[in-house]
Chains A and B, each alone.
Chain A
Amino acid sequence: MCVGLAAKVVGVKNGMAVVDASGAKREVSAELLDELEPGDYVMVHAGVAIAKITQDDESETDDLLEMLS
């Protein structure tokens, strides 16, 4: 149940967002995130978008390894 699903927002209306996860679309709650817009990527848990995803894991991990050096 705790497996997060990364998905792209394709529409937002009345506190709900339609998200596209690798082609599968479904409606999820957008009530926990402000200013969600089509094109944003979000992490979805049990039908609720809990966080915006701001970058890919490549640049994220590069930054962390840079910090170590």
Chain B
Amino acid sequence: MEEKKKTAKEIIESYDGPKLRIMEVCGTHTHEIFRLGIRKILPENIELISGPGCPVCVTPVSFIDEAVMLALEKQAAVCTFGDLIRVPGTKMSLGGARAEGGQVKIVYTPLDAVDYAAAHPEEQVVFLAVGFETTTPGACLAVKKAKEQGLANFSILTANKTMPNAYHALKGSADAFLYPGHVNAITGEEECRRLALEEGISGVIAGFTAKEILTALAVIIEKSRTGKSFFVNCYPRVVRPEGNPAGRELMKEVMEECDTEWRGLGVIPMSGMRLKAAYRDYDARIKFALPKIEGRANPACRCGEVLQGKCLPSDCKVFGKGCTPQHPVGACMVSNEGTCSAYYQYQL
């Protein structure tokens, strides 16, 4: 009689091999893993580490300070995704800037900011472009559309980031990565495959439903048994091997790589994106001659270590006390994708 195949849950629950450290790179994975109760079925020898895949969380304090300056001193209408509003800057958040009379508007998509600029030619409109390869094409589309429409009152403040060099910076932090499926929807499989083949960095691309996360973890467990580095695309219904070539072409046309600061990780060479020379008229830093700002985070906040998996949110002295979702001290408590927010919501 044929032996009944194990389910993904059974593979995970019965794992009795050496300790396995798995880093979920994407903040949405972190939250879904908590929300679905997946941590509760993990045996003790599987450790999940939350990585730096929440774009709000890795955006440095200086970026918030620049945005506050645009709203208050340059009188720009600052358009942003909602998650950035409450991230603390050195002196204040964007919410604080709004309370002091600055124009800070929440948009669903960068394209809404272009529409706002077209409808309000008397205002200077700046979109805060944060995010990884998933959201960067949207910012590029916005800039192209503004140029096509001849809008002189639209620009973006870039803090866009790319993941591959962050994987290098985090090499050794985990035995395998749960790669962020929607970043790979743009970038495809190639880089992850190369990391496994040439650099010994293992991981699987994972989707976001319960079945998909459990299966991705089961695949990591089974592949780890071989002792060799591995890569598997566990989200093929969304991630094509080639990713989204049009999205990558668009990014290549409008932006170029640059060094950039990640909160907690410092400056990672060539891990950021800025506008190319042909689009510099849409670069808010140039347009408003923003000075170099050295942001200062609250010294009690340990978001930087949390983002590298070096400590748990609960190891931080202010977690759950001075720092809560209602009154966040650090970025990881602000965003719905943040690790501290997930621990607060599901573990306290």
User: Which of B35-43, B170-178, B179-187, B292-300 contacts the other chain?
Assistant: B179-187
Interface size for chain A: under 10, 10 to 19, 20 to 34, or 35 or more residues? 20 to 34
A58 to B81, CA, bound (A): 32
User: In the complex, which of the residues B26, B28, B111 contacts A47, with contact meaning CB atoms closer than 8 Å?
Assistant: B111
Write out the residue numbers on chain A whose beta carbons fall within 8 Å of the beta carbon of B55: 1-2
Find out whether the CB atom of B185 lies under 8 angstroms from the CB atom of A51.
yes
Nearest A residue to B335 by beta-carbon distance? Answer: A1
B187 to chain A, nearest CB (A): 11
Decide: A4 and B111 in contact? CB cutoff 8 A: no
Report 15 cross-chain contacts, Cβ distance below 8 Å, ordered by A residue. A3-B28, A4-B28, A4-B181, A4-B185, A29-B111, A29-B141, A45-B134, A50-B134, A50-B186, A54-B237, A56-B237, A57-B209, A57-B211, A60-B212, A60-B235
CB-CB under 8 A from A29, the residues of chain B are: 109, 111, 138, 141
Given A3-B28, A65-B218, A51 and B7 contact (CB-CB distance below 8 Å): no
Q: In the complex, how many angstroms separate the beta carbon of A31 from the nearest chain B beta carbon?
A: 6
| Contact pick for A51, options B26, B108, B240, CB 8 Å | B240
The one of B28, B108, B235, B238 in contact with A46, judged by C-beta atoms closer than 8 angstroms, is B108
Q: Which residues of A contact B337 (CB under 8 A)?
A: 1-3
Which residues on the B side are within 8 Å of A61 (C-beta)?
Answer: 8, 211-212, 214-215, 234
- A-contacting residues of B (Cβ < 8 Å)? 5-8, 11, 26-28, 53-56, 81, 83, 108-112, 130-132, 134-135, 137-138, 141, 180-182, 185-186, 207-209, 211-212, 214-215, 218-219, 222, 232, 234-240, 244, 246-247, 250, 336-337
Query: Which 9 A-B pairs rank lowest in CB-CB distance, beginning with the nearest?
Result: A47-B109, A61-B215, A51-B185, A1-B81, A48-B138, A55-B237, A61-B211, A32-B246, A57-B209
Question: CB distance A64 to B112 under 8 Å?
Answer: no
Write the nearest CB–CB distance from A47 to chain B, whole angstroms. Answer: 2
* Known contacts A2-B26, A46-B110, A46-B135: A51-B215 contact under CB 8 Å: no
The answer to whether B182 touches A2, judged by C-beta atoms less than 8 angstroms apart, is yes
Listed residue (B109, B110, B236) with the most chain A CB atoms within 10 angstroms of its CB = B109
C-beta contact mask, A10-46 vs B, less than 8 Å → 1, else 0? 0000000000000000001101111000000001011
- Asked if residues B182 and A50 are in contact (CB atoms below 8 Å), the reply is yes
* Given A29-B141, A57-B209, A68-B218, A1 contacting B130 (CB threshold 8 A): yes
- In the complex the two chains form, is A51's CB within 8 Å of B238's CB? yes
- Are B237 and A2 interface neighbours, CB within 8 A? no
CA separation between A14 and B5, bound complex, in Å? 49
Using CB atoms, name the residue of chain A closest to B234: A64
Instruction: Please name all residues of chain B whose beta carbon is closer than 8 Å to the beta carbon of A46 when the two chains form the complex.
Output: 81, 108-110, 131, 134-135, 138
Contact status of A1 and B135, CB under 8 A, knowing A60-B207, A60-B212 = yes
Contact A47 B110 (CB under 8 A): yes
A28 to B6, CA, bound (A): 41
A57 and B237 form a contact (CB under 8 A): yes
Q: How far is the CB of B252 from chain A (nearest CB, A)?
A: 13
Docked complex Cα distance between A42 and B193 (Å): 25
Q: Name the A residues within 8 Å of B141 (CB-CB).
A: 29, 31, 48
Q: With A4-B208, A32-B244, A33-B246 as given contacts, are A53 and B81 in contact (CB-CB < 8 Å)?
A: no
B222 touches A68 (CB 8 A): yes
Closest chain A residue to B182, Cβ basis:
A4
Contacts of A34 on B, CB cut-off 8 Å? 246
User: Distance (Å) between the CB of B49 and the closest chain A CB?
Assistant: 18
For A50, the chain B residues whose CB sits under 8 A away are: 134, 137, 182, 185-186, 244, 247
Complex interface: chain A residues within 8 A of B130 (CB): 1
B109–A48 CB distance below 8 A: yes
- What residues of A have a CB within 8 angstroms of the CB of B234 in the complex? 60-61, 64
Given contacts A43-B182, A61-B234, could you give 16 more A-B pairs where the C-beta distance is less than 8 Å? A1-B56, A2-B53, A2-B337, A29-B138, A45-B134, A45-B182, A46-B135, A47-B109, A48-B109, A48-B137, A51-B182, A55-B237, A58-B211, A61-B215, A63-B236, A65-B215
